[in-house]
């Protein structure tokens, strides 16, 4: 066969194989999250699978990757996303910090995963490594982060440094499968837990074909997983993990909160607290509650009884207790202010003073708003910009009678105004009547023209009409009526009569 034909043949069989793979894979979108101890070869795997140079690998024993990164590529007609993570048990941080950092890294890594498709967690181990307590700890961390069942259901082990394995075991004619079967200790446990899903990866940047074959094996093994690793699973694992952390720190946490609560309770029970003191106590109580809420929110599911339930309900009681005191004290102050004004208005004797008192009523609103309340005679509301007491709309119920009193206050002002105006009018009428009577009686009747008499009479009609009839005006009305008769007589009888200067 000519060499061209051989090449053509090879190309055809390769295309056929790729087509077969394309047909055999079950999804169109695969995501691999690489986790493992530092230096095992995660970044190097990500580079080789994605072809991207963004993943830096390290030669030294120092941790290289510090932030999770992702890249996407296409193989055999499917989309493959790799997510690289920082090495667990990072050599640059202490063990406790490492745990927290790993957890946060994984949150970020999960966030980088595209939605849907098949997801697998790839636990990367390094051939040559003797598995120590640090490795055990690393796998334990993976389980706490991704969930206890993650090894069994969602994990594939990749053993890197397959090239070194080949060199070592070629002469012994030991296959990787046999080697796995013979391994004991930790690797055996993980191997069993992962239901023997393990792949050996070799690093050879020149051999692209081998690289593709390794990717193919990974995709096909991922298809054997019963379940994909979903965000929901991660959320459940995350809550469980946080709960574990909370349980660990719970005794300390509860002690601190209890001390703070007791201290606060002592202060609240003091009898003579002014508004400012109550305000600062309420802030303290709210802070305490929010601190508990913050701890609680991340650590328990909504359908579970929280371990912080008891201190939280005590903290809530404290807030309610202080709030009751604040609301009642405010109410008392407002009612007292309104009462003083009411009495002033009731005893007011001039319109000028009444105007001043009306102004004071409006200023009363300003005083309320200093306390974060907008009060009118229709309604009371919270001024959010000045709500220093942190009042809630439910608190406003207590102020209902303040609104009623404000309403009453404005009615009293209106009534008072009417009353004062009518007194003023009456005074004018009285003095006009006095001068009318005096004029009429002081001028000798002979000099008083009939027209003038007629006008006087008319004015008496007008005066009587303009007086609002009430008990206090009865005597004035009678007096004018009497004078009216006299004026009528003078107009209609035309009898000259003489009046002395009789002044009223």
C-beta atoms surrounding 290 within 10 Å: 12
Considering beta carbons, is residue 205 or 303 the nearer one to ligand GTP? 205
Of the candidate residues 50, 65, 144, 405, the single one contacting ligand GTP (CB under 6 A):
65
Tell which positions 452-481 bind ligand GTP, by CB under 6 A.
none
Interacting residue with ligand GTP among 39, 68, 147, 372 (CB under 6 A): 39
With CB under 6 A as the contact rule, the residue among 5, 59, 272, 471 that binds ligand GTP is 59
Going from the C-alpha of 268 to that of each of 282, 301, 310, 318, 390, the distances in angstroms are 9, 32, 19, 8, 17
- Nearest to residue 68, comparing CAs of 24, 30, 112, 38? 112
* Shortest Å distance, C-beta 64 to Mg ion: 5
Tokens of 121: 């967690």
Binding part of the chain for Mg ion, among 36-44, 170-178, 279-287, 393-401 by CB under 5 A, reads 36-44
CA distances from 403 to 125, 156, 378 (A): 74, 70, 7
* Strand-strand pairing, 29-35 and 78-84: parallel
Q: In the window 73-112, what residues touch ligand GTP (CB under 6 A)? A: 86-87
**What are the phi and psi torsion angles at 306 (to 5°)?**
-75, 145
Q: How far is CA 9 from CA 15, 19, 211, in A?
A: 10, 15, 21
Interaction of residue 323 with ligand GTP, rule CB under 6 A: no
Determine the angle formed by the axes of helices 95-112 and 231-268, rounding to 10 degrees: 120
Pairing of strands 69-75, 373-375: unpaired
Six-digit token string for 92:
């640059």
360 binds ligand GTP (CB under 6 A): no
The residue at minimum Cβ distance from ligand GTP is 87
Query: Stretches 5-13, 38-46, 223-231, 387-395: which one binds ligand GTP (CB under 6 A)?
Result: 38-46
User: Considering the complex, what minimum distance in angstroms separates the CB of residue 79 from ligand GTP?
Assistant: 23
d(CA 461, CA 455) in angstroms, rounded, equals: 10
63: contact with ligand GTP by CB under 6 A: yes
68 binds ligand GTP (CB under 6 A): no
Total of chain residues touching Mg ion, rule CB under 5 A: 4
According to the binding rule CB under 5 A, does residue 43 interact with Mg ion? Answer: yes
Q: Work out what residue 118 binds among ligand GTP, Mg ion, none; the CB cut-off runs from 5 to 8 Å by kind.
A: none
Per CB under 6 A, the list member of 30, 31, 35, 42 interacting with ligand GTP is 42
Question: CB–CB of 49/80 below 8 Å?
Answer: yes
Residue 65 is a binding residue for Mg ion (CB under 5 A): yes
Cβ-based nearer residue to Mg ion, 68 or 311: 68
From the CB of 135, what's the least distance to Mg ion, in Å?
17
- 69 touching ligand GTP, by CB under 6 A: no
Burial class (CB in 10 A: 0-12, 13-18, 19+), 123: buried
Is residue 109 within 8 Å of residue 83, measured between CB atoms?
Answer: yes
Nearest to 156 by CA among 22, 72, 45, 44: 45
Q: With binding defined as CB under 6 A, does residue 193 bind ligand GTP? A: no
Task: Tell me if 41 contacts ligand GTP by CB under 6 A.
Answer: yes
For 251, 253, 316, the CA distances from 256, given in Å and listed in that order, are 9, 5, 17
Question: Total number of residues binding ligand GTP (CB under 6 A)?
Answer: 23
201 makes contact with ligand GTP (CB under 6 A): yes
Sheet with 155-160, edge to edge strand ranges: 69-75, 78-84, 29-35, 118-126, 155-160, 198-200
Q: Does 161 bind ligand GTP (CB under 6 A)?
A: yes
**Residue 50 interacts with Mg ion (CB under 5 A): yes or no:** no
CB of 205 to Mg ion, least distance (A): 17
Nearer to ligand GTP, 103 or 203 (CB): 203
Instruction: Please tell me whether residue 166 binds ligand GTP under the rule CB under 6 A.
Output: no
317 Cβ contact list (under 8 Å, min separation 6): none
Which of residues 40 and 490 has its CB atom nearest to Mg ion in the complex? 40
Query: Shortest Cβ distance from residue 81 to ligand GTP (Å)?
Result: 17
Binding residues (CB under 6 A) for ligand GTP: these are: 38-44, 57-59, 63-65, 86-87, 160-164, 201-203
């Amino acid at each position: 066969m000519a060499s061209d034909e051989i090449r053509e043949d090879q190309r055809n069989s390769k295309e056929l194989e790729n087509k077969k793979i394309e047909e055999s894979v079950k999804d169109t979108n695969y995501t691999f999250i690489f986790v493992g101890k530092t230096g095992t070869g995660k970044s190097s795997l990500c580079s080789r699978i994605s072809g991207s140079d963004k993943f830096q690998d390290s030669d030294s024993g120092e941790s290289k990757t510090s932030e999770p990164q992702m890249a996407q590529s296409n193989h055999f007609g499917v989309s493959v996303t790799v997510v690289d993570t920082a090495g667990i048990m990072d050599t640059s941080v202490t063990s406790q910090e490492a745990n927290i950092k790993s957890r946060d890294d994984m949150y970020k890594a999960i966030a980088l995963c595209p939605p849907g498709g098949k997801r697998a967690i790839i636990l990367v181990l390094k051939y040559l490594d003797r598995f120590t307590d640090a490795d055990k700890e690393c796998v334990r961390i993976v389980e706490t982060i991704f969930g206890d069942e993650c090894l069994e259901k969602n994990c594939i082990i990749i053993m890197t440094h397959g090239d070194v394995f080949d060199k070592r075991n070629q002469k012994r004619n030991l296959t990787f499968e046999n080697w796995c079967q013979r391994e004991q200790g930790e690797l055996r446990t993980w191997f069993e837990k992962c239901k023997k899903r393990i792949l050996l990866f070799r690093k050879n940047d020149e051999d692209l074909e081998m690289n593709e074959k390794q990717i193919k094996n990974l995709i096909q093994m991922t298809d054997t997983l019963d379940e994909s690793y979903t965000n929901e699973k991660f959320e459940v694992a995350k809550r469980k993990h946080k709960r574990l952390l909370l349980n660990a720190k719970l005794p300390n946490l509860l002690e601190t909160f209890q001390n703070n609560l007791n201290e606060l309770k002592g202060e609240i029970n003091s009898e003579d607290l002014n508004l400012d003191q109550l305000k600062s106590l309420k802030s303290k109580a709210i802070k305490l509650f929010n601190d508990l809420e913050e701890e609680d929110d991340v650590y328990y599911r909504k359908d579970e009884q929280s371990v912080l339930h008891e201190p939280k309900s005590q903290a809530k009681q404290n807030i309610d207790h202080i709030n009751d005191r604040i609301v009642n004290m405010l109410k008392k102050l407002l009612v007292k202010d309104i009462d003083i004004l009411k009495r002033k208005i009731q005893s007011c004797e001039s319109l000028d003073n009444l105007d001043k008192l009306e102004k004071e009523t409006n200023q009363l609103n300003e005083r309320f708003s200093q306390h974060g309340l907008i009060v009118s005679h229709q309604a009371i509301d919270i001024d959010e910009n000045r709500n220093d007491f942190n009042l809630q709309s439910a608190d406003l119920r207590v102020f209902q009678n303040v609104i009623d009193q404000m309403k009453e206050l404005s009615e009293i002002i209106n009534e008072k105004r009417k009353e004062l105006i009518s007194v003023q009018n009456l005074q004018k009428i009285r003095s006009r009547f006095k001068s009318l009577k005096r004029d009429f009686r002081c001028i000798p009747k002979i000099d008083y023209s009939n027209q003038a008499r007629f006008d006087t009479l008319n004015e008496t009609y007008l005066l009587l009409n303009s007086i609002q009839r009430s008990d206090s005006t009865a005597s004035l009305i009678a007096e004018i009526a009497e004078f009216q008769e006299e004026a009528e007589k003078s107009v209609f009888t035309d009898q000259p009569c003489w009046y002395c200067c009789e002044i009223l």
